[in-house]
Amino acid sequence: MAPVHDSYDVVIVGGAIYGSSVAWWLTQMAGFTGRILVVERDPSYERAGTSLTNSCIRQQFSNKANISVSQFGAEFIRNFRDFMGGDPEVPALTLQSYGYLYLADTPEFAQDLKDSQKVQASLGAGTRYMTAAEIAADYPFYQLDDILGANHNLVNEGYFDGGTMFDWFKRMARKNGVEYLTDEVVAMTCTRTRVERVMLKSGAEVACDVVVNASGTRGALTARMANLDIPIEPRRRYTYIFDAAHPLDRDLPLTIDPSGVHMRTDGRYYLAGGPPDEDPAVDFDDFDADHSLWEAKFWPIIANRIPQFEEIKLINMWVGHYDYNTLDQNAIVGPHPEMSNFMFVNGFSGHGLQQSPALGRGLAERIAYGEYRSLDLTPFAVDRVLSGEKFLEKAVI
Ligand SMILES: Cc1cc2nc3c(=O)[nH]c(=O)nc-3n(C[C@H](O)[C@H](O)[C@H](O)COP(=O)(O)OP(=O)(O)OC[C@H]3O[C@@H](n4cnc5c(N)ncnc54)[C@H](O)[C@@H]3O)c2cc1C
């Protein structure tokens, strides 16, 4: 299939949750009537971060911008059908609020949690700091010998169905006139300040007013096509689903062990995940798994923290890639200061799914009106990458 038109107001590179969120939000911007093309190289989305995600949302960040972005994420999930125009065909999304439990094993880490709790509470989040005794009273199954305390929040924090959200962003974008094309963006022609044309693997090419880089782990490759650099690389993350011979008598919050391994309730099973011990950049298409890691690393950590999980059976596992921002593990959003019609929405490093409603809306506002109207997203601007100044966020999982 070829593009229907020779030129588009907005060409979006990548059609997963970000490409589709930005596309759908653009169709919601009053007065914006631009023509939108989404180019996606793999419409199965088999290896997209969007498909291999753990699909959780939290208020527990240390940076106000990230907290506000996730708060809108929760509002969007809770009012999904209304946001989608009230169509009775749109399903209601649930948010299973079993919370995150961020465990601290050093006084410094405990102090960080207390500081973050204050920031979160100042924005209305329900986070509370718990002592080890309080954790033991609410969740008697943890081994807490090395734990000083934790932050926990049972409001708007837990699992949501990101797959359904993605599906409806895409469906409604299409319904509202967005064109989806199966092809790959391979090059761009640019002046010193603008991208003028986008070239596709099929040989087709289109003119564009704005280009959106929604290419996930390939974000740096897409930026290079416009002679720009961003510090994004694919990093392997393991996910395991397991069954327990002796299930817990209550939901397991998404528990972040000080080792970096996390685990949570997953329906009648449990989910655990984390990085390998060595965490280099990997090839975009390398999804090979080191199968020894389950017994060598993950299971011992899980069973140490929850002795009831001594007897567990692995049901499933997969490797996904984080779109890892090596500068500061946070999103890069908005235009490049010199290549002003090249828009980034990249580098989410493990918390991108929950941010897709707010960052998609913000970028659509920036494109349609030249400014952020709902939430100020300037803290995510690429300018910080150019100056080397990090976006400070302590809670990266
Ligand atoms: C294991 C794992 C667990 C996670 N857990 C969570 C979580 O609990 N909560 C949370 O909020 N986030 C989580 N995330 C992060 C979140 O899933 C991602 O940040 C988000 O899905 C990224 O979406 P995206 O649209 O930017 O990229 P992707 O989903 O990776 O999609 C990018 C798309 O661009 C396409 N593309 C790339 N280059 C081109 C090109 N040149 N031409 C055409 N198409 C192109 C690709 O084919 C792909 O479909 C997790 C991620 C992983 C891997």
Sorted by where each starts, the structural domains of the chain and their CATH numbers stand as: 7-56+162-231+327-387 (3.50.50.60), 95-155+235-322 (3.30.9.10)
Beta-bridge partners for 263: 255, 272
Residue nearest to atom 26 of ligand 1 (CA): 216
Q: Tell which atom from ligand 1 comes closest to the C-alpha of 183.
A: 43
The three-state secondary structure class of 131 is strand
Q: Which of 217, 293, 353 to mutate to test the pocket of ligand 1 (most atoms within 8 A of CB)?
A: 353
Ligand 1 center to residue 320 CA distance, Å? 9
172 pLDDT exceeds 90?
yes
Beta-bridge partners for 128: 152
Q: Which tokens belong to 394?
A: 């302590």
67 pLDDT exceeds 90?
yes
Query: For 323, left (φ over 0), alpha (ψ -120 to 50), or beta?
Result: beta
pLDDT recorded at residue 233: 98
Ligand 1 center to residue 211 CA distance, Å? 18
Ligand 1 center to residue 44 CA distance, Å? 13
Query: How far is residue 353 CA from its own chain's centroid?
Result: 3
Ligand 1 center to residue 174 CA distance, Å? 20
Mean pLDDT of 7-32: 98
Beta-bridge partners for 182: 40
DSSP 295: I
Angstrom distance (rounded) from CA 49 to CA 38: 17
Q: Tell which atom from ligand 1 comes closest to the C-alpha of 318.
A: 1
pLDDT recorded at residue 1: 86
Our answer on whether the CB atom of 95 is closer than 6 Å to any ligand 1 atom is no
- pTM of the predicted model, to two decimals? 0.98
Q: Tell which atom from ligand 1 comes closest to the C-alpha of 17.
A: 25
Cα angle 312-316-321, degrees, rounded to a multiple of 5 = 120
205 pLDDT exceeds 90?
yes
Q: Tell which atom from ligand 1 comes closest to the C-alpha of 321.
A: 53
Q: Which of 20, 21, 42, 50 to mutate to test the pocket of ligand 1 (most atoms within 8 A of CB)?
A: 50
Torsion angles phi and psi, residue 274, rounded to 5:
160, 180
Ligand 1 center to residue 129 CA distance, Å? 32
Question: Using one digit for the tens of pLDDT, what is the confidence trace for 236-290?
Answer: 999 999 999 999 999 999 999 999 999 999 999 999 999 999 999 999 999 999 9
Angstrom distance (rounded) from CA 194 to CA 255: 45
Token pair 């002003």: residue: 340
Our answer on whether the CB atom of 81 is closer than 6 Å to any ligand 1 atom is no
Mean pLDDT of 53-71: 97
Mean pLDDT, the chain, rounded, equals 97
Our answer on whether the CB atom of 256 is closer than 6 Å to any ligand 1 atom is no
CB atoms within 10 A of CB 218: 22
130 pLDDT exceeds 90?
yes
Residue nearest to atom 3 of ligand 1 (CA): 53
